[in-house]
Structures are given as structure tokens and as C-alpha cells.
Amino acid sequence: MTTEPPPLPDATRAPDGPPAGVSAEDADHRLHPMSWLFVLVQQVKSFIIPLLVVLVAGRRGDNMYELWGLVGVGALVLVSLWQYFTYRYGVLGDALVIRSGLLERSLRVIPFARIHNVALQQNLLHRVFGVAEVRLESAGGQKPEAEMRVLKLDKALALEALVRRRAHAGDAPADGAVRDEAEPLLYLPTGEVVRLGLISNRGMVVVAASVAALFQFGGGDIVEDYAEQGVRQAVGWAGDHSYGTSEYAIGAIALLLVLLALVRLLSVVLALLQFHGFTLTGHGRRLTVERGLLGRWRTSASRRRIQAWTLTETVLHRLFRRRSLDVDIAVSQHAQQQRALRELAPVATPAACDDLVDRLLPHAAWTGLDWQPLPKAVWWRIFLPGALVTGAITALLYLRFGAPGLWLLLWLPWSAFKARKHARCMAFALGDELVAVREGWWSRHWRFAEIDKLQALRLGRSPLDRWLGSTTLFLDTAGANALGPPLRIRFLPDTQARALYDRLAESLSRRPLRW
């Protein structure tokens, strides 16, 4: 890694404001000379629909529309060049200074302590020119503190290293020395990335989203026509060969298997594009992830920003003897949309995941937690909602189709079996530094967080809970993924839930709040 550009002379900080003496001349570093091209590409993406309308209208015989289209593109080029010539950045003391604009000038002073995540992104065009887009993100902002399109790659890496060394003074070791050596934590070879593609459902998500988009924008009729035509040809070909019921069934199963194989192949391709060369490294108290095949994506964040952890193990994970480790980080909403440093281990062996947690949380004693199971009688609480839904659907099918609709009741024994297995796997653990919850059987997960990171404690009781004397303890953390499993302990006896609540509340009251 190269060193950072020479910093500007230090300045003293005013007690309640930016560094004293900051002026427009304090930012003297420019963007890359080709940055205007990348700004232009981004702007064209934003105005692509109006430009297409202008070009299509011009092809209908009015040359004036084509001329206006060229004028629009020329205006975007001028705006991109203007941004390049008026954008400056530099380092002053413990802050980053950014100046932009000429007629309407803007001067931003961003303290290093405010920067919680540094993201470097390279698409294929970035890699051709040896540049990168840099985003500096804070914890609570609606958008990044700064976006630099684009910097030369070595300058981008130098800026990331500078932020890593100078942000969060509290991350420094007790001796005050700044250590920037890279500590390798996890690397995924190509074989592991292929396993990740086979385990994940990324291909199915893309297919479902594509089909939904086709129907949304009027392409559903085309899909239906092609599907109907294909079915007719297949049925006609099968009829010419005098196929019976068994041949039809075998053909349908074979077609289904081929489609599933293609979807899994798509998942593997997507995993390779996204996670090829996945590398997790530690730099002191900061973590850095780098990944990607055609485009490279690199982001770093302080370990202190990690709010909660999730270990996931689906059926396919167990088939390949793997797990996934994700984290919730308190970053800006924009960074959450970009999934900033979510996957610490997209796929790894259970031992590797446990070792990673122990290395990052050395005082939590993750592998030595005392797990306390819930009463096995709670299985019917898990079974009840599904049973009610199944009963309601069965009643509707019986009214519509008669006795054949009752076949759906055969689902109830399997549902009860799963509920019993789920109840046996449910457990929680409370240590001196960590609180953890385990749930699931068919697909299971472990959700845990440091006690210091808990933002709120809440006891919840439904009418059924009041009748049965049970309570759910909710443990809220910052940066939680709305689509992920919640951190909660369900179906606890009321006295036990309140005792846990009081213990956690007392522990939080005695500890200083850490950020």
C-alpha cells in the first residue's frame, strides 16, 4: 500500500468549530484527470430515460429532436468538466477539507472522527483507468459525508489508510502506538465462492425480480406467449411419440431439474462476480473487506461499529458443512443500502466462523457460553399459527373442491414435527460480555450482541402470553437489518424474563456508553 499524499500543515482547532484558519486554499489536491468521464457516465444514467425519449422522437422524422439530444449530452459534458476543475480536497490537522464550486462555492470540513466507513468501488471502467470511487460515510447521515469520483487508485488507498490511522483515536492501543499492519482474517478461494453460489438463492432472486419487472413494464404478454408456444410444441412432440402418463411425469421432473440446475448455475456466476477474491483483513481496530471479479469493492469500518452478529446455517449450509457470518454496523442509510461490510464470512466452516468470532470478540467467550434451553412444551406455540392457517385454507379448498381439499391436512403432522425440533433447538445464553439467542431447526441461526451495544430492552406480551404467563424479551441494537432475524428471547416464563431484564438493565447502567 502506498503512502498518503503529503498532508497540509497542521492547524489548531477552535473549541466549538472547524480547525482555525481553514480557507478555500487549504484544499489543493484534485481528482483524477479522467474523473469528468465517470461523472458524465453517472449523470447519463440519471437522465437516460429523457435522452432515450428525445432520440426515439428524433427518429420519427424531426431532426430538431436529435439536435436537442446532442445539446443535452453536451451540457452534461460541461457539467462534468466543471466539477473536475472546481473540486479540491486536502488534509488539515485532524480533518479533511473539501472545496467545490466556483460561482457558488462550498467548503466542507469533515473531522476524521466523524468518518466511520471508507468505501472504495471499482467497476470495469474504473479498473481500465486504474482509478476508484471513494465514499466517506458517517453513522447517522442520509448520504455519504463525501463522494470522490474519482481518485487514482494509489491515492484512494492512501486516503483510506490515512483515515484508518487518524480516525477514532480511542481505537489506538494502550501504549499510544499506531499499528497499521494488515492481519489476514479470512480469504475465500474460488472453490469456496462456488460453494457459496450453490448454497445461496441469488439466482432465484434475480429470476423472480426479472419476471416481476417484465410483468410490471408490460412484458408479461410476451412471456405468456412464449410459454404457451413452448408448451404446445412439447405436448405435440410428446403426442407424436405416443407418450403415456409416466413419460409425461418423467419429462416434467427432468425439466424441473434442468431449470433448478440453471438457477444454481446463475447463483454461482453471481457469487463469483460479487465475492471473487474475498479477503477480510484487520488493521488495528478496523476491518477491511475487498471482493469482486469484474468490479472490485473495498470497504473498511471500525470494529466498535459492529452492533450485532448473525450466524446462519440452512439445510444447504449443513450439506456442505458451512455457515455464514454477518454483522450489523451502525452506518448511514446510504451505506446500509450498499450493504457496507455486512458479510464477514459469506461462507466458511463452523470452526472458522467460531474462530473469527473469538478473534474479534476475545473477551466474550463465544465458544464457552452456557446455553439455556427453553421449555420443550413451547413447541405448540410455534405450531399453532401454521395450524390455524392450514385449517383455514383447508376449509376453503373443501368448500370449493369437496373431499380432495382435505388432503392439505396431511401437512399438519410434518408441521408439528418441525415445531418440536425447533423448540428443542431454541436456547439463549447470557455471559459477562455477550447475550445470544439460538433458533431454528430446518434453517437455524445464532443471533448475538455485546451487552454494551444494546440500545433498548423491552418486554412484550400478547393476549396468549398473558393467559399462559409467558413473556418475550426484545433486545434492540443500532443498524439492525429489517430483513434479518430479530434479537429476542421468546416464550420465557414471566418471572424469568423479568429477572433477565433486570440483570441486563443493571449491567447497562453500570457501564459507560461506547460508540
Give the tens place of pLDDT for each residue, 387-402.
999 999 999 988 988 8
Q: Which of 326, 315, 286 is nearest to 118 (CA)?
A: 286
Share of the chain above pLDDT 90, in %: 33
> Which residues form the domain of 366?
296-375+423-509
Q: Does 323 share its domain with 219?
A: no
Q: Is residue 449 a part of any domain in this protein? A: yes
370: cell is: 452456557
Q: Does 447 share its domain with 415?
A: no
Q: Does 267 share its domain with 310?
A: no
Grid-cell match 466498535, residue found: 304
Looking at residue 355, what is its pLDDT?
Answer: 95
Exposed / middle / buried, residue 285 (Cβ in 10 Å: 0-12, 13-18, 19+) = middle
The count of domains in the chain is: 3
78: CB partners within 8 A, 6+ apart: none
Q: Does 235 share its domain with 348?
A: no
Q: Is residue 153 a part of any domain in this protein? A: no
91: cell is: 488534509
Q: Is residue 211 a part of any domain in this protein? A: yes
Strands in 365-469 per DSSP E: 372-373, 427-430, 434-439, 444-450, 454-460
Grid-cell match 415445531, residue found: 419
Q: Does 365 share its domain with 307?
A: yes
pLDDT in tens, 281-335: 998 888 999 999 988 899 888 888 889 999 999 999 999 999 999 999 876 555 4
**pLDDT for 408 beyond 50:** yes
Q: Does 324 share its domain with 471?
A: yes
Q: Does 213 share its domain with 264?
A: yes
218: cell is: 408490460
Q: Is residue 69 a part of any domain in this protein? A: no
**pLDDT for 91 beyond 90:** no
Looking at residue 26, what is its pLDDT?
Answer: 46
Determine which helix (DSSP H) or strand (DSSP E) holds 348, and give its type and residue range: strand 343-348
Q: Which of 282, 254, 296 is nearest to 120 (CA)?
A: 296
Q: Does 487 share its domain with 381?
A: no
Grid-cell match 452534461, residue found: 76
Q: Is residue 432 a part of any domain in this protein? A: yes
Please give the single-letter amino acid code of residue 365.
Answer: A
Determine which helix (DSSP H) or strand (DSSP E) holds 271, and give its type and residue range: helix 245-275
**pLDDT for 8 beyond 50:** no
73: cell is: 449530452
Q: Does 453 share its domain with 328?
A: yes
Task: Among 274, 309, 338, identify where a domain stops.
Answer: 274
Per-residue b/e over 301-316, b at no fewer than 16 CB within 10 Å? Answer: bbbbbbbbbbbbbbee
Q: Are 455 and 477 in contact (CB under 8 A)?
A: yes
Strand partners, 272: none
Please give the single-letter amino acid code of residue 291.
Answer: R
Q: Does 302 share its domain with 402?
A: no
Q: Is residue 227 a part of any domain in this protein? A: yes
471: cell is: 413473556
Q: Does 463 share its domain with 401?
A: no
Q: Does 228 share its domain with 369?
A: no
